[in-house]
Structure 1
Amino acid sequence: MSIVLRLLDRGMARGALIALVVLLAGCESLLELPGFGRPAREPLPPAPVNEVSGAVNVEPGTELSRSIKRTLKEPAQTAAAGAGWQVKGSGRFIDEKPLKHPETAKLPAFDDKKEITLNFENTDIREVVKVILGDMLKLNYIINPAVRGGVSMQTAAPISRSELLPTLETLLRMNNATLVWTDGRQYQVVPVAKATKGLLTPRLAEEREPLPSGHNLVIRPLHNIGADEMADILKPLVRDNSIVRVDPRRNLLLLAGSARGLEQILSIIDTFDVNWLKGLSVGFFPLHNNTIEQVQKDLDVVLGGEAGKALGGLVRITPIPSANGLLVVTPQKDYLAEVGKWIRQFDRRSQAGDEQRIFIYRVRNGKAEDLAKLLNELFAKKSKTATLKRAVAPGLSPVELVGKAAEGETAARKTVIKSTENVAPEGGGGATLTGDVRVVADVEHNSLLILASARDYRKMLDTLEKLDIIPLQVHIEATIVEVLLKGHLKYGISWFFQGGVGGGYDSTVGTGGVDSSVSGVDITDGIDSLLNGFNWSLMDSTGNIRAVLNAFANDSLVNVLSAPSVMVLDNQEATIQVGDEVPTLSQRQATEGGLPVETVNYRNTGIILKVKPRVNPGGLVTMEVSQEVSAVVQTEVSTNHNQPTIQTRKISSTVAVQSGHTVVLGGLIRDKRSNAQGGVPGFYKVPVLGALFGGTENRNERVELMVVLTPRVITSAEDALQITHDFRDRMQGLKKEFLAEAGVIERNPPSKGAAQGGTEEPADGNREESEPKRGVEK
């Protein structure tokens, strides 16, 4: 800290001496604040502060300046008298002017007596924001595209309009979003992680004006406790990211959060930021096995009564429900250790057995039903196969599985798992628990209700936190094409890429199916013997395969049957089906009266793609692929029941490819033969001479089916958003193509520079002479 002394008639030496004295005086505490509440401070006159350095300016003519002059004129007499002198600083180390009156949301005038009932059932959070902010409060707002989620809420009793914003904040917090008042004009609904940077105007927390609704950023200077020490006290009691910055030099905290959360934090700071705390010992004792209420009752027995009267209130115990612990404040450090010893003793489990409690685990990323099944297999020690005998070790109790809902219980709470101590059924072993455990999967709220002791719950909680992780997603782009085999492709696509024009690709070749591989096969040797029933796969990471297919499409050699795109969770199956259901007669019987009874089944035809990806460490995607292309064809053999003939081409395989790379499955070649005869009616069918009046056309085409798959692993919301943007760009390009095809717009409109007579340089740097525009004669 620097002190600027502006004296008119003294030199630099005396100025330096005064600066040293002021520094020593500023370190002295001038406040004596008894009591437990917030100290009542004497209002200090505002001292001029240097806006650049933050130092105190001593202006000529002020009382402070005159006092310093008197001291400098008579230093000996002043020192002899022993009176001394003091220079009181402002105690402020920040410029408070910009923080005095930040703009807040101005709510429209409304009748607060009018009550509102809210009822949302699986409603998009964006729609909830529109209803509350736009329709009810008439406020402007902007929603960040990253805000997603659903809301189910119903108010049992009507609420006033003043409670709408706090209610909306709670709903947004459940979806990791919050409100931010920006520009003095509107609210922004943004993710919590993005709410602090660049959007908030700091407020001075000492003014203690009511904070506006939404996300706030406050500066809280500390006077009687260090910033680092206060931050250590707050960390186990507040939400993550609530403490934005700890400034030990200026001794202040920068806090961020909702209005209600900040009020709680500031109340805790007010409790500790008092002068008497310097001599007190403070301890926080978390509870692991017992409840706060029970431990407090036990402590009252020890500290209360005749023994407690001697303490005279020297020990204060405050419960902290949010952290499940007790806060102990005492002026005697020995008392702190003694009380802590009693708390730990009361928190231990009893020798006869652990007391069971009900714990609620909110599943964050997975499904409650799936986690309940895993807990059953791990902790309940049940055999995995239902056909195993219900045998247990001699002298031990069996496992009970309850699956029937009690009367009045919803169907969503039916999965009940019960584990018996030391159960060891045939064929299974699990983690050892100290007592009975019940796990109920609440499907409606996606939660687990666990009845267990605290020790058993900690074992299960450690496993749950490792299982309840964000599942990976895989975006799969598939292209199913038919390639007409002629010209360079007459021997098939595999020959083209390996031994022909497009050689140089890593591939797997086999004659027994897609899964079989034969290395070192010379495709050009014995092509004719390998064409029928020949399967192959090919890997590509540079996009050359799609480029070659696009080139063949320009020559009308490629027919794209389907190009689906699907997003699927890791280790889950995705199915895409485009086609018809064809009725087929499966059974025909005659009744006693002679009436026929027919059984008709429906067979799915068309394009059916099933993919089940599994992501391995390192980004390798293993896919179980089943591709079927089927169609109803005209049968050459007549039947009495007109049964259809279904022609099917099917590939079933398991392949592995890196994320973002392309794998191609192919080798299914089909011959199309057709004979057509035509000519002059009545004459072209005459034997021998009919050839003079007509002709016969014989066509033989060979078509190969290919499946092109490109998986991309989605590891974050940014990856999913990027894929969404890619699809949007594709749709915009498709829209322009349709408009150009309809003649609404030009396919390649001239650039702005070309329209003004300039030239436009292509992206590759090569200039091309543009064709001059032809004028229209008037």
Structure 2
Amino acid sequence: MIRLRWRALTTACVLFLLWSVVWTSHVTAEEDKSEGGPPLVAMEFDDVDIRVFIKFISTLTGKNFVLDNDVKGTINLVSPSRVSPEEAYRVFESVLEVYGFTTIPSGPIVKIVPLRTAKDRGVETLVAPGMPLAGPQDNMVTQIIPLKHANADDLQKVLTPLVSKTSVIAADSKSNTLIVTDVHSNIRRLMEILREIDVSGVENTTSVIELEHASAEDLADKLRLLMEGERKTRPAGKQGEEEVFKVLAVDRINALVVFANKDDTEEIKRLVARLDRPTPSGKDNIHVLYLKNAVAEDIANVLTQFRDQAKTAGAGQATGDRPKAPTISADVVISPDKATNSLVIRSSPQEFKELTRIIEKLDIQRAMVYVEGLVMEVNTDKALRLGVEWHAGNDFDNQSAFWFGGNTAGSAGALGTIFSGLQSSTPVFALPGGLALGVIGRQLTYGGISFPSYSALINAIKSDTDFNILSTPQILTTDNEEAEVRVAQNIPYQTRLDQGTEVTSRAISTFEYKDVGVNLKVTPQINQDRFVRMQIEQEVRSVVRDSTVDSAGNVILAPVTNVRSAKTTVIVKDGETVVLGGLIQDTERGDETRVPCLGSIPVIGWAFKTTSQRREKINLLVFLTPHIIENTEEARAVYQQKEREIKDSLIRQKALQGPGAKLLNDEKPRGALPETPDSSESGNTETPSGTPE
């Protein structure tokens, strides 16, 4: 006996410890004393056993619960705000209702049973004199609803589809009373419907009309408008009688609940029979809409996002505060067809009408922007070279040679320019640039190389450079669309060199080609007052050196390039020019070549050395001019302007060729722009080849 008691005590302790672990790991309940009111609690339960949850509510409210054997499972509850014990108990009843259970008060205890068996367990009975609304709780109750005007048997048929399978609606014809067993929240919804239906009328009846094709909500709105208009045209005698007419839409079963007198009910049934028909051919729910200007894929994406956002916004509202359903429902399907630039839409005729109105505002002809560009490099390059170069030599039986003097007597310097001409297969005597004074002796040959036996040269040269126009890109693009102009060369880069093998002695090179030149990207956006906002990306690449020599003496195609780029956003008025500048490269270099010792002697040393100085400043300027084109007149004006510029350029080019050159009006070069329709000249113009244009 003692052993049995000890075992029972041990089991109870283990269960208590397990309950404590579950409590501390899964339940968070913080109490807070409100000022002068009951304590507030914040509840948060994550996969907690439902019996632990019931124990928590019992401790909080002081209620005694009796649990059915089928009350099992886990629950999840998130309550970020603190609530009072009374509110916590209502939350408790809602949680039980969600998980298929309900409470049945019975004296000092509360029974917790499954919903499916609650109606057989003696639930609480409420009487509703004057039809007050039931409370917001979610426990199972039986509500007695006496009716004043409507027929109980008729309403039983109407309300039965609106309750769950575990609920019961009974009608007592003698007392004209409805008896409903359901959770509090559902009974509240039913009583709201009854409050609209159970009103005074002239022999009013309630009917349920099920629909096959039409939408219950749309048809209910149309019937209300029709019946209200019909009543205004009735004779004065009938119009003075008190008549009540109600049409409610039940979307869940797609049916209409009609509360009206017999004549109105029959009229409504006849109207419904005529309106509840399949959509005629050509007016069905599949529509094809061809676009004129916009891209079908873009319009489809916009409308789909609008539909999804409207659906999310509607779902986020509380049931009582939910706004009117969005014009575009979640059932609408929009598919673009790229081949025909059209939209295939599946929707109701009302929704398609709304979609058509939206698409007409989006499918408009957008303005275009003609962008003129000028990429110019301003190069301030100043170089000065001054010095004396000389050498002397003798030929000793073609075995060896003796040299004396010559600070740059090789491939470099002013003498190198002369030697290069003598060593070529077709020797050409070439003097260096600038002022050159000196003497050159007879030609000697050593090692297959020809050179003068003696030479002396005094050289002085100064050079200045100005500016260089790299590119004049011009492009026409649509508003808010990116345009790109690329003028470049495809330069090979040697990425791999495989030496010869036993099979072949030739080296195999692998190349990668990259673009080197001018690249301009611009995205114009037309604002108010004909201002253009342009996103600009400008890049200029130039080759500094074509190749290099590796350690083995092999020439490798590894070009070295300069990259100058700018990325910015500017706002400029239509027809005005904006300049992007400031990309400056400033280099200064000085070289001196001299004969050791002799070149260091004051004054005399100038005869044995050469000095050069070079200073270079490079500034890259980008000029951009946007022209807005909104109609054909503006497009024609831009065309005529560019035509005049080309003609003027060709005239100046002809004038530079000599006084005997013919002007453009006598003979149009091949490739020139054609005359505009308003040109003063008429007739065909022939190209130099005689082909009429």
TM-score, scaled relative to structure 1: 0.33
Q: Which has the higher strand share?
A: 2
Structure of larger gyration radius: 2
Q: Which has the higher contact order (CA 8 A, sep 6+)?
A: 2
